[in-house]
A and B are shown apart, each in its own frame.
Chain A
Amino acid sequence: MPLPAKAFQLWLHRVAPSASTADICRISGIKRTTLAQQLVRGKVAETTLVSISRALDLSPLTELASFDHYAELGAPPQPPTPAELVSQVATMDLLRAVISRSSPAYGGYGDSDSASMRALSPAPHATSVRNWVDAIDDGELRHRVSAASGVAPQNYSAQLTANRLSPELVVATARAAGVGFTGGLVATGLITEDEAGWVPGAKQSALDALSDGELAALAGERLQALGKSLRRHEHEQAQTEKIWENLG
């Protein structure tokens, strides 16, 4: 649920008592019309708060926790599990790791250093939300989230497919899975790994800790999913072209 406008304005007054709305918009890069619209509707997006917090050099996580329904974010954050960290490694980085670990006889580099020479790209990546949920899913997770939040499973899946998840559902998902909140907030791109308090290189260490077998299997799953989504795209493309060819 977005933040109530009233609570948001109280917060804004507390963190920046002298700044006008125009100043806030200028330093945080939010369009004035966007903010005005959110205030009129009575619902302010969490991303708005995060942008303003960043601009004011405040921790987005702490500021988010100052709102009633995100109060649980205020507790000392539970660090992400290794599976969550690996889920935030982009597919192409996983593939690069596979190549760099492979023996030179098979076209690889035969070490693990060449992979770390190139820094992993920062989260979120193209399928980070679904990969995060898959990493913490025990098979019943979607069911529990849907029961707890009242969001229909198909709507939940649609958000994952679009690589999106509302912050409210991120918190509900993390709670249902019994993991920390930061993994999902990073996966959805609301906050950065830094802001989440992740140790620099945590993703790299989790990746290095995977055995060759685990890494190959994981990369295989990712490639399969990528292939599926590309094929779906190509199919839709062909359908659309056929329509234009005959009716355009």
Chain B
Amino acid sequence: MRETGMIAYLQWGTLIICSVVLFLRVPDAIHGRNRTVFWILVLATLCSLLSVSGPYEAIDGALGGWNLAHLILRFLVFAAVLLVGLRLATGLADERGYRLIAGPPGRWALAISAVAVAVTFFLMDTRGSSAGMLDITDNGGQNAVLAPFYAAAGRTYPAFVSVALLPALLATTRSQLPRLVRAAALLTCLGALATACSVPACFAPVTWILAQQTVNYLAVVGYVLGLGLFWASGLAAKESGNARATFRKNKG
């Protein structure tokens, strides 16, 4: 089927992008610079690895072949999103966003999403490894009804964090900061938008699966490339000597 082929491209493309950014970030992590960002990238790479059929089926097979790997994947996503949210909110000096994510609203959103994911997972008949649990609906029973809710529950918390970050990301994109920093904010902003869209996309009809999957992978790619570019912008500035605001620059 053509769509399956396209989805495989998306999966592999995302995995390659994540691995490249992760690989570039390794030297800094060894030097102890911003290890959190490194761990975020490790989680993102792990998540995209678990989205590819081959590795997924191997790992899930080792875990008993009832898609437990997919449930673990959801919790890895939650962990990555929590770290990204806290880091971005701190970096962009977005106090409101930080309070939303780290405070009671964020904790509730995380708890509710986690419980909803677990409950819907155990209500379904999840036998038969299938990456993204795309074929699980064939098992019959309640699966066809529950599958979209399971998917939506897994994307609710990421969407919550993304929406909390959006205002600060947009403000940075439209600011007077260095161009690379603004470009990084724009990429992250696209990732956040895609993440927010991925919740309603869970309920899209089956014929829209390609668009649905594109939104899902766009979210990961946006965040990962954004983080990569934030890092690269810092490097570029360091090399060019990063001029400060002084009288010397202002000859008037």
Contact = CB atoms under 8 A, between A and B. Distances in A.
Contacts of A54: none
B176 A236 contact: yes
Q: Which of B87, B93, B252 is packed against the most chain A CB atoms within 10 Å?
A: B252
A182 interface: no
Contact of B230 (A90, A226, A243): A243
Contact of A243 (B33, B176, B181, B246): B181
Contacts of B237: 240, 244
Given A90-B252, A230-B245, A240 B87 contact: no
A240 B181 contact: yes
Contacts of A247: 34, 37, 87-88, 91, 227, 230-231, 234
Contact of B178 (A126, A226, A240): A240
Nearest to B36: A246
Given A229-B250, A247-B34, A236 B175 contact: yes
Contact of A236 (B33, B177, B234, B252): B177
Contacts of B2: none
Interface in B79-97: 87-88, 90-93
B53 interface: no
Contacts of A246: 34, 87-88, 90-91
A23 interface: no
Nearest to B247: A230
A8 B238 CA distance: 44
B233 interface: yes
A21 interface: no
Contacts, number: 74
Contacts of A248: 33-34, 37, 230-231, 233-235
A48 interface: no
Contacts of A243: 91-92, 172, 177, 181, 230, 234
A91 B176 CA distance: 24
Interface residues on B, range: 20 to 34
Interface in B56-98: 87-88, 90-93
Given A246-B87, A247-B88, A247-B230, A239 B93 contact: yes
B222 to A, nearest CB: 15
A229 B252 CA distance: 12
A100 interface: no
B252 A126 contact: yes
Interface in B218-241: 227, 230-231, 233-235, 237
Interface in A102-158: 125-128
Nearest to B227: A247
B192 to A, nearest CB: 14
Contact of B252 (A226, A232, A237, A244): A226
A239 B245 contact: no
Contacts of A13: none
B159 to A, nearest CB: 21
Nearest to B252: A126
A69 interface: no
Interface in B190-212: none
A112 to B, nearest CB: 22
A161 to B, nearest CB: 10
Contacts of A239: 93, 175, 177
Interface in B28-43: 33-34, 37
Interface in B154-198: 172, 175-178, 181
Contacts of B176: 232, 236
A168 interface: no
Contact of A126 (B91, B234, B244, B251): B251
A90 B37 contact: no
Given A243-B181, A248-B234, A90 B91 contact: no
10 contacts: A125-B252, A126-B250, A226-B250, A236-B176, A240-B177, A243-B181, A244-B233, A248-B37, A248-B230, A248-B234
Interface of B: 33-34, 37, 87-88, 90-93, 172, 175-178, 181, 227, 230-231, 233-235, 237, 244-247, 250-252
The 9 closest A-B pairs by CB, nearest first: A126-B252, A233-B245, A248-B234, A246-B91, A244-B234, A247-B230, A125-B252, A247-B91, A91-B252
